[in-house]
Structure 1
Amino acid sequence: MHDLTTAHWVYLIGVLVILGTMLARKNIVVPAVFFTFLTALTFKESLTGALAGVFNASLVAAQELFSIFLIIALVTGMLGSLQALGADTKMVAPFRPVMRNGHLAFWTLAAVTYLISLFFWPTPAVPLIGAVLIPVAIAAGLRPMAVAFTVAVAGQGMALSSDFVIRVAPGLSATAAGVDPDKVANRAMVLSLIVGITALVIGYVLEIRRMRQPSHQWLEEWESGDVEAKVLAMTEVDDPPTIGHGPALREEAAALVAAQSGRGGADGIGAGGTATATHEPDSASEWERPSLSGRPGSGDEGPVNKAPAWASTVFAVAVPLAYLALIIYLIYSISSSGTDSGLKGGDAAALVGGIAAITIFLAAFAENRSTFLERSAEHVVDGLVFAFKAMGVVLPIAGFFFIGNGDFAGRILSIAPNEDGTTSAPAFLFDLVLHGQEHIPQNSFVTAFGILIIGMIAGLEGSGFSGLPLTGSLAGTLGHVTGVDPETLAAIGQMGNIWSGGGTLVAWSSLIAVAGFARVPVLDLARRCFIPVVTGLVLATIVAVLVM
C-alpha cells in the first residue's frame, strides 16, 4: 500500500465526478479522459507524460478488452452470413414454442443464461446466448434492453458472483480471509440467489407494460439496428419510463419515427408514432430483410444469393448443434480434468469465436462461390465495425479506471517494474480503499455494508475479481470483533466485487459483451441494472447479517 499523494486525491475526485455524471445520464468519456490526464499530470509532474498517459490508458484498455471486441465481431459477422442465407429465422424457429411471448422469453432467457454461466462462466455463455436465444427473445416481444438486462443479471451477476462450480472467486475470498472455501462458496451461492432473484423480479415488473405482442417484425427491426427508438415510440405509457430512458430520449425517438413515417406500413408505426397492427410479411416485396451492417439488403443492389434451397436449413440446424457440442465438450473437459485444469473462461470463448469464424466462411461459400472470398471478408469487417462502433466509447472510460489498478498503472504511466517483476506503480483506487477501511466502525451492520461498499468500489476497475483479496482480508480481520462470521463477510464482499465489476454495474467490464450482442448502449444498460441490483445487494446483506 502506497501513502496517499495529491494524485490519489485527484483520482478520487475523478471517480466521484464520473459517478455523478453517470447518475445524471450524461456521457462520461470527456470526464474520464480529463481526469486521466489530470491524474497522470499530477503524478508525473510532466505535460508530455500526462499526454502520453491519456493515449496509453486507452491503449492498455484496448489490449485488455480486445478479446471481447473480437468475439462480438465474429458472432455478429456470423449472424450476418446466416442472415444472407435466410438461415437466421429458421435457426430460432424451434425455440418459439417455449418462448411464446415476452414473459416466457424473460424467464427462459434468465434460466438458460444462469445455468450455462454457472458451469462455464459468462465469457462463453454470452456469445452462445447471443447467437441462439437473443433473436428468439426479440421475436417473442422482449425489448433489446430487457434482453440485455436479463442476460447480465442472470449470467454476469447471479452465476458469476457465486462461482459455485468453478470456485475461483470463493477460493480467493477464503484464502485472504483464512477460512474454509466451501463455507464461503455455500454462503455466496445463497446471497447470489437473493440478489439475482430480487433484481430479476424488479426488472420484470418494470418491463411488464413494455412487452410487445410476438412478431417476426421485431427481429427484423432489431437486425436493422434502430429498434430501441422504435420501441420507445411504440410503448408509450402513462407512468415514468424505465431506468435509462428519459423524456429527452422519447422526444428523439418520436422525431426519428416521424422522419421514417414513409416506412410506417412496414414498420408497424404510423406517421403519428403510434403502433399499428402487426403481421407477418407475405412476400419479399412486402418486407425486405435489412442488413446487419447497413449494407444493401435484398431489395437493393448487392451480392446475389446463389445458395441451394437446402443450404439455409442445413446452417440453421448445424450452428445450434455446433454450439451444443461445445457445451458437451466443456462439461466433459471439466468433469475429466477438474475445475482447475478443465477448459473454461477465455479458452471456451475462443472456441465460440472459432466456430463463428468458420461458419462465416462456410456460409459465404454456400451463398455464392464466385464471391466467396469477398463476402467472407465483408462479414468479418462488418462485425468489427459494429463492435467498435457500438463499444469503442468504453475504451477511454476503462483507461481511467485501469490507471487505478496497480497491475495496469505502470504501463499507462510508463513506470518500469521492480527487478523481481512486481509492479512499482501506485494503485490509486486500492490505496484509497485500504486507507478508508480503517474508519469502519465495529458494528455488525456497519461492517457488513462497509465491506459491501468497499467491494463495489474495488469492482470499479472492471474485473470483479481483483478486489476479492482485499474484501477477504477485511472479512478475516473484522469478523471476529463484530460478531459476524468471517465467511459471511467474505461472501458479502464477493457480492460487492463481482456484481459491480463482473458485469452489471460497470459499463467498462464484460457488460460490453452483453450490450454488444443485444445491440443496446452499454451505459444505458449499466443504468438499467443499477436500482434492481443495488436493491438486491442491500437485501442480501441484511439477510446475511440477521440469518447467517
Structure 2
Amino acid sequence: MPVEITALHWTFSLFIVLIMAAMLLRRDSSLLCITGVFILGCFATASLSQAVIGVFNSFVYAVSELAGTILVISIIVAMGKVLSGTGINECMAAPFARIIRSPGMAYWLTGGFMMGVSWFFWPSPAVALMGAVLLPVGRRVGLPAIGMAMAMNLFGHGIALSGDWVIQAAPKLTADAAGIPVQDVVSASLPLVLVMGLVTVSVAYLMLRRDMANGSLVVEAAEKNTAGVRLSQMDFALGDRLKKLLAAVIPLLFAIDVAVMYKLNLRGSDATALIGGTAIFILVLIALLSHRGRVLEQTTTYLVEGFTFGMTVFGPIIPIAAFFYLGDDGFLAIFGPALPAGSNGLVNDLGMLLAQSVPINAAVGAFTITIVGMITGLDGSGFSGISLVGSLAKLFSVSTGSGIATMTALGQIAAIFTGGGTLIPWSVIAVAAICNVSPFELARRNLLPVLSGLLAMAVAGALLI
C-alpha cells in the first residue's frame, strides 16, 4: 500500500537537512529544532496555541525519554569527583596503566573491552564501567578524550549493539518482521558486522592519528586534571592502604553488578539503574570516610556538582531530541493522531517511500535497505525502525529471489549504527558525557568513518545476496 506523504513529512525532511547541515558546519541547531517543532505543530493541529504548547510538551517528552541517561551520567560524575579527590581513581587505573603504554593501545584496548562488555549487557552500563577506569589511562598516554569517546562509542554502540549476537533483541525483531529464524539473521550479520566494524574503527583510528600528528588534536591540560576536588579539600586524607583496598572493592562491587545482571537477566535500563544505584552507595561510602562530620553537606555537594554537569551537557541535546522524537512515537504523544491513516511514523514513512521508489535487484536492494535503515535511525533509537527494514527485506527478496537474511541484517546494522548509535548527538550522549566531550563533535567525528563502513558493508551485502 503506497505511503501517503503530507506536508508534515516534507517539513520534517526539510528540517532534518537544515539541522544536519548546521551540525556539519559546527553551528548550534537548537533554534532550528524549536522552529521545526513549532511548524510541525501548526500543520498537525491547525492551531497556533496548540503549536506553542507542543513546543513545550516536546521538551517534556524528550526529558522523560532521556531522564534515565541524565541521572546515571550525573551520578557517575558525582562518584568520579569523590574518587578523584581522594586519589582512589589513580589506584584503580594503575593496573591498566602498566599495560596501556601508547595512544594506539589505549584506542584498541578500550574499544575491545567496551565491545566485550556491551555484547553481554548492552553499551549504556558498559560506558559507566569502562569510562571511569580507562579514561584517565588513555589521557595519560596521550590519547585525547575525543579519541577515547570514539573508541567506546564505535565498538560499543556500533559493533556490539548492531550485531547484538548474545542478547539477540535486535535480530529477534528484524527476523520476526522478515518471517525467518533469528539464527539466519545472526549468521548473515557476522560477515557484515565484520566488514562494517573493521572499516569504521580503522578509518576512525587513522583520522585520529592524522589529527594528533598535525597537532590539531591534543590532550589539553584541562583533560589531564579533571579531579574537580583537590585532596586539600578533603577533611580526612585516606591512607595508601585504605585507598588500595577501596580501589579493589569498587571494581568488585561493579563485578557483582555484572553477575547480578547475568543471573537476573537485567538488560538496558534495568542494568543501567543497577550501575547507577551502586555508584550512589560508593559515593556515600567514600564521603563518609573522607568527610565524616560533614558527610551530609558534602554528599549533597557532590550530587549537585554531578547534576549540574549532567544538565550542562544535556541542555543543548534536549531541543534536538524533542524534534527528532517527532519522527516516531513522540508525534502521537505530543500532537495526537494527526498523521495519515496507516502511517508508521514520519521517519518510517519516508523510509518506505524510498523503498517504493526504486527498482530492485541485488545491488540496488542492498544499498536501498542500508539507506532505509539509516533513515529509520534518525529518531535516535535505532530499534524503532528495524521491524520496518525486516518487512522491506522480505518484500525485496521477492524481487531478487534470494538474500532475505542478508538484507534484513543490512537494515538492522545500518539502523542501529546510525541511531543506536554513533551519528545522532543524543544517542552518543552517554559516552560524550563520561568523556566530557561535545556530543556534536563526537557525532561529527564519527560521520566519515561510519559512512565509510556503511558503504563497504553495502557493497559486501550486494555480493552476498
TM-score range for the pair, normalised by the shorter chain length: over 0.9
How far is 1:16 from its partner?
Answer: 1.5
Alpha-carbon RMSD across the aligned residues, in angstroms, is 2.5
**CA–CA distance in structure 1, aligned partners of residues 344 and 15 of structure 2:** 16
SS at match of 2:382: coil
Question: Do the aligned residues in 2 keep the contact of 1:311 with 1:366 (CA within 8 Å)?
Answer: no
Task: Work out whether 1:410 is the aligned partner of 2:327.
Answer: no
The CA deviation at 1:298 is: 4.5
The answer as to 2:298 corresponding to 1:375 is yes
Residue 164 of structure 1: how far off its partner (Å):
0.4
Paired residues for 1:222-301 under 5 Å: 236-237=214-215, 241=216, 291-292=227-228, 297-298=230-231
2:234 is aligned with 1:311: no
Give the residue type in structure 2 aligned to 1:186: S
**Residue 435 (str. 1) matches residue 353 (str. 2):** yes
In the TM superposition, what is the alpha-carbon distance from 1:124 to its structure 2 partner? Answer: 1.2
Corresponding residue number in structure 2 for 1:355: 278
Within the candidate set 441, 456, 460, 2:378 is matched to 460
Relative to structure 1, the CA distance from residue 57 to residue 193 in structure 2 (aligned partners, 3 Å threshold; closer, same or farther) is same
1:204 to partner: Cα distance: 1.4
Asked whether 1:398 is paired with 2:321, we answer yes
Q: Which runs of 5+ in 2 are unaligned?
A: none
Aligned to 2:444: 527
Larger relative helix fraction: 2
5+ long unaligned stretches in structure 1: 212-234, 243-249, 258-266, 269-286, 334-341, 418-422
Confirm whether residue 545 of structure 1 aligns to residue 458 of structure 2: no
Tell me, yes or no, if the aligned pair for 1:415 and 1:425 is still in contact at 8 Å.
no
Quote how far apart the aligned CAs of 1:304 are. 2.7
Distance in structure 1 (CA, Å) of the matches to 2:365 and 2:342: 31
What's 1:116 paired with? Answer: 117
Q: How does 1:99-178 map to 2 (within 5 A)?
A: 99-178=100-179
AA aligned to 1:480 is V
Which shifted more, 129-138 or 84-93?
129-138
Q: Which amino acid aligns with 2:383?
A: F
Output the CA distance in 1 between the equivalents of 2:377 and 2:97.
Answer: 38
Describe the superposition over 1:206-235 as per-residue Cα deviations: whole angstroms up to 9, x where unpaired. 222555xxxxxxxxxxxxxxxxxxxxxxx6
Cα distance in 2 for residues equivalent to 1:183 and 1:398? 34
Partner SS, residue 100 of structure 2: coil
**CA distance in structure 1 between the partners assigned to 2:65 and 2:461 by the alignment:** 35
**TM-superposed deviation, 1:61:** 0.7
Cα deviation, residue 454, structure 1: 0.8
Identity of aligned residues (%): 33
Aligned length: 463
Structure-to-structure mapping, 1:458-537, within 5 angstroms = 458-509=376-427, 511-537=428-454
Q: What is the distance in 2 between the residues matched to 1:430 and 1:409?
A: 13
**One-letter amino acid matched to 1:412:** I
TM-score norm. by structure 1 comes to 0.80
Indicate if the aligned counterparts of 1:467 and 1:497 stay in contact, CA closer than 8 A.
Answer: yes
Q: 1:315 to 1:397 in 2, by over 3 A?
A: same
What letter corresponds to residue 114 of structure 1 in structure 2? Answer: M
User: Structure 1 residue 488: deviation in Å?
Assistant: 0.5
CA distance in 1, matches of 2:402, 2:207: 35
Partner amino acid, structure 1, of 2:379 = E
Alpha-carbon offset, residue 19 of structure 1: 1.7
Structure 2 distance, partners of 1:119, 1:194, is: 21
Q: Note the C-alpha offset of 1:474.
A: 0.4
For 2:425 and 2:289, the matched residues in 1 are separated by 38
Residues in 1 aligned to 2:121 and 2:296: alpha-carbon distance in whole angstroms: 34
TM-aligned CA deviation for residue 436 of structure 1: 2.8
Q: Aligned partner of 1:496: which letter?
A: A
C-alpha distance in 2 between matches for 1:89 and 1:424:
57
Contact 1:21/1:27, CA 8 A, preserved across alignment: yes
Q: Give, in whole Å, the separation in 1 of the partners of 2:346 and 2:5.
A: 8
Q: Given the superposition, is the C-alpha separation of residues 483 and 95 from structure 1 closer, same or farther in structure 2, using an over 3 Å criterion?
A: same
Q: Report the Cα offset of residue 28 of structure 1.
A: 1.4
Deviations 1:451-498 (A, max 9, x none): 111110100001111101111000001112124411010000001110
Cα distance, 1:364 vs structure 2: 0.5
Q: Cα distance, 1:309 vs. partner? A: 5.0
C-alpha spacing 1:2/1:135, structure 2 compared with 1 (3 Å) = same
- The structure 2 residue matched to 1:327, chosen from 250, 253, 258, is 258
Residue 386 (1) aligns with residue 309 (2): yes
The whole-number CA distance in structure 2 between the counterparts of 1:450 and 1:343 is: 35
| Whole-angstrom CA distance in 2 between matches of 1:185 and 1:401 | 29
Q: Which residue of 2 aligns with 1:337?
A: none
Q: Distance in 2 between matches of 1:136 and 1:309?
A: 20
Q: Give the Cα–Cα distance (whole angstroms) in 1 for the partners of residues 5 and 460 of structure 2.
A: 35
Q: Is the 8 A contact 2:3 2:352 kept in 1?
A: no
The CA deviation string for residues 356-415 of structure 1, in whole angstroms up to 9 with x for no partner, is 00011011000021110111111111111111101221111011011111x221221155
CA apart distance, 1:316: 1.4
**Structure 2 CA distance for partners of 1:426 and 1:486, relative to 1, 3 Å:** closer
Alpha-carbon distance, 1:448 to partner: 1.1
Amino acid at match of 1:547: L
SS of the aligned residue for 2:275 comes to helix
How far off is 1:450 after superposition? 0.8
